[in-house]
């Protein structure tokens, strides 16, 4: 065994730290020798034999219901023996069935450490039990993969794991490294995968906590002062105090892939996928990139350059469109000014459109009132009405008042200043908007 591979972790503890609780839980449940039942010391005190400690692969078994009760409105049972893993140590509980009823939660009862199985129906007597193996094996792949990736970061980057999160959707470890280069991450990932290719045995055993040097452990609970400590060992690579379920050979993990690195609480959060999750993630990425390479008619590695070219083209076109719009508005303004109605020494321009947005309307209004003696009442029809009332600086009409009058038929709201005001209202046709603008300009006495 290579001692250099084992780095004793100082008792550093982060929020949400699961390791300490995990070790404590195991401590209460295992004896000095640890085998075969993992409950030697405390067996007489405990209601449930936790068989998953020594056998993480059995997922079909029979047991006897020793207690039934109701918990949160659901039937709950305690078995004399169970392979169901209760939530703990950062690992989610197992699901499956007991006596035909669905298992919806599994947890450890605080007072007597019994494993409680929450069901969607009643179960009693001798019952056939089935663990959802797809879910359990996935969790074992992620969990054991985490042990290996954590140790790989210790050995290649001197970065220690201070947090671990495992759910159905994501797996992350939080490292105490202030920064990590892409190269460092790749090196750690490479070492972790080499450990998988080696197909090393993963074993669990109970050790004397006094002899726990070299065991990766984030916190030694007080209760560990006597008895044994459950240790999970990846041969000649990692020893971690842990009470979860693990694969028995590293090859069963398949692959470990880091998919995200981000700053987190002064350290680095590494998101990764193991085994089936890595493959599923690869599937998604192949699907997405396949669509993109088809759409952009390029190869996978050419995608970033192709997207950049596309973005440049769009920016260029936007500049061209803006220049054309500027020229167009000149023609439009000239046309509107030429046909304006003269009243009270002002040229009144009243126009409704159904083919432009508010920004274009503001632009046109601004261009019109650059001329002296112009009042422009412009509107957009459609599902939402938009109206702008603007006048030249040399005039004195109140555009706010005109706007309120123009929007009134559409239940609209808006505001501005005496020289320019705008607002919107409900749906209207172009004729309706035109009529409302004209009525606002020529109010009945």
Q: What residues make contact with Zn ion under the rule CB under 5 A?
A: 143, 242, 244
Contact call for residues 173 and 267 (beta carbons, < 8 A): no
**Secondary structure of residue 343 in the 3-state scheme:** strand
Comparing CB distances to Zn ion, the nearer of 242 and 387 is 242
Residues β-bridged to residue 268: 175, 263
Shortest Cβ distance from residue 286 to Zn ion (Å)? 31
Shortest Cβ distance from residue 312 to Zn ion (Å)? 49
How would you class 195 by CB atoms within 10 Å of its CB: exposed for 0-12, middle for 13-18, buried for 19 or more? buried
Shortest Cβ distance from residue 229 to Zn ion (Å)? 13
Shortest Cβ distance from residue 241 to Zn ion (Å)? 9
Shortest Cβ distance from residue 88 to Zn ion (Å)? 11
The pair phi, psi for residue 237, each rounded to 5°, is -140, -50
Comparing CB distances to Zn ion, the nearer of 231 and 350 is 231
Among all residues, whose Cβ is closest to Zn ion? 242
Comparing CB distances to Zn ion, the nearer of 239 and 346 is 239
Residues β-bridged to residue 346: 343
Comparing CB distances to Zn ion, the nearer of 230 and 386 is 230
From the CB of residue 305, how many other CB atoms can be counted at a distance below 10 Å? 11
How would you class 2 by CB atoms within 10 Å of its CB: exposed for 0-12, middle for 13-18, buried for 19 or more? exposed
Kindly give, in sequence order, each residue whose CB lies less than 8 Å from that of residue 301, ignoring residues fewer than 6 positions away: none
Q: Per the structure block, which two tokens stand in for 213?
A: 């040097």
Shortest Cβ distance from residue 176 to Zn ion (Å)? 19
Comparing CB distances to Zn ion, the nearer of 97 and 144 is 144
Alpha helices in 257-413 (DSSP H): 275-296, 303-338, 358-368, 399-407
Comparing CB distances to Zn ion, the nearer of 164 and 410 is 164
């Amino acid at each position: 065994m290579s001692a250099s591979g084992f780095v004793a972790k100082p008792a550093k503890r982060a929020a949400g730290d699961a390791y300490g609780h995990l070790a404590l839980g195991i401590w209460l449940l295992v004896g000095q020798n640890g085998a075969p039942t993992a409950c030697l010391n405390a067996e007489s005190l405990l209601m449930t034999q936790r068989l998953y400690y020594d056998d993480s692969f059995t997922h079909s078994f029979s047991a006897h219901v020793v207690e039934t009760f109701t918990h949160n409105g659901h039937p709950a049972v305690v078995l004399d023996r169970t392979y169901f893993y209760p939530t703990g140590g950062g690992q989610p509980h197992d699901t499956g069935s007991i006596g035909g009823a669905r298992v919806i939660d599994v947890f450890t009862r605080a007072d007597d450490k019994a494993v409680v199985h929450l069901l969607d129906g009643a179960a009693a007597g001798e019952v056939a039990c089935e663990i959802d193996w797809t879910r359990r094996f996935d969790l074992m792949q992620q969990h054991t993969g985490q042990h290996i990736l954590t140790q790989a970061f210790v050995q290649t980057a001197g970065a220690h794991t201070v947090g671990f999160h495992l759910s159905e959707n994501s797996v992350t470890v939080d490292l105490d490294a202030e920064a990590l280069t892409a190269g460092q991450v790749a090196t750690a990932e490479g070492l972790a995968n080499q450990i998988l290719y080696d197909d090393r045995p993963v074993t669990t055993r109970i050790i004397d906590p006094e002899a726990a040097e070299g065991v990766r452990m984030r916190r030694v609970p007080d209760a560990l002062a006597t008895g044994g400590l459950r240790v999970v060992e990846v041969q000649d690579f990692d020893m971690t105090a842990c009470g979860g379920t693990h694969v028995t050979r590293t090859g069963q993990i398949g692959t470990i892939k880091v998919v995200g690195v981000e700053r987190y609480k002064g350290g680095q959060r590494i998101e990764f996928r193991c085994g089936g999750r890595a493959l599923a993630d690869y599937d998604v990425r192949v699907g997405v990139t396949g669509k993109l390479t088809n759409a952009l008619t390029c190869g996978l590695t050419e995608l970033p350059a192709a997207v950049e070219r596309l973005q440049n083209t769009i920016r260029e076109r936007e500049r061209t469109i803006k220049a054309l719009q500027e020229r167009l508005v000149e023609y439009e303004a000239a046309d509107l000014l030429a046909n304006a109605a003269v009243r009270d020494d002002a040229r009144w321009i009243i126009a409704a459109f159904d083919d432009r947005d508010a920004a274009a309307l503001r632009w046109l209004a601004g261009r019109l009132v650059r001329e002296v003696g112009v009042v422009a009442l412009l509107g957009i029809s459609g599902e939402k009405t938009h109206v702008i009332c603007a006048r030249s600086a040399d005039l004195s009409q109140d555009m706010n008042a005109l706007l309120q009058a123009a929007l009134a038929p559409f239940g609209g709201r808006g505001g501005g200043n005496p020289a320019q005001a705008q607002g919107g209202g409900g749906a209207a046709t172009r004729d309706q908007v035109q009529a409302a603008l004209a009525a606002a300009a020529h109010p009945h006495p």
